[in-house]
Amino acid sequence: MSDSIYIHNSHNVSNLVYHFVCPTKYRRIVITENVDKSLKQICEGIELRYDWITFLEIGADKDHVHFLVQSTPDYSPTKIIGTIKSITAKRIFADILR
C-alpha cells in the first residue's frame, strides 16, 4: 500500500481515489484476524497483477471492509470493485475450505 500520487498517462494526468465499503452478506460477523491478513495479501497480489489498481489503505471490521483505491479514468468504479471483490472472495473462500 502506497501514498496517493498523480498517474501520468500519454494523454492525461489523474489522481482518482475511491473509497469502497463492502459489507459481508447479511452483515454476518465473519472477518477474523486471519481473514484480514489473507485479504491484505490477496490485495497485494491484485496490485501486482493489475497495474491500474493501487491500494492506498485497507481496513477491516468484523462485518465490513474499507478499500481506499487509486485508479485511472480508463476504468469505472464498477469495474474496479468488481475485480477486487471477485478475486478476494474466491481466494478467501478457497483458504477457508482448505
The pLDDT-based confidence of 23 (bands split at 50, 70, 90) is very high
Q: Which amino acid is at 24?
A: T
Confidence of residue 51 (pLDDT cuts 50, 70, 90): very high
User: Residue holding cell 459489507?
Assistant: 23
Domain range for 26: 11-97
Q: Is 53 helix (H, G, I), strand (E, B) or coil?
A: strand
Distance CA 81, CA 91 (A): 15
CATH of the domain at 22: 3.30.70.1290
Total tally of structural domains belonging to the chain: 1
Report the pLDDT value the prediction gives residue 97, as an integer from 0 to 100: 76
Dist CA 6 CA 16 (whole Å) = 9
The DSSP code sequence of 18-49 is: EEEEEEPGGG-----HHHHHHHHHHHHHHHHH
Q: What is the pTM of this model?
A: 0.88
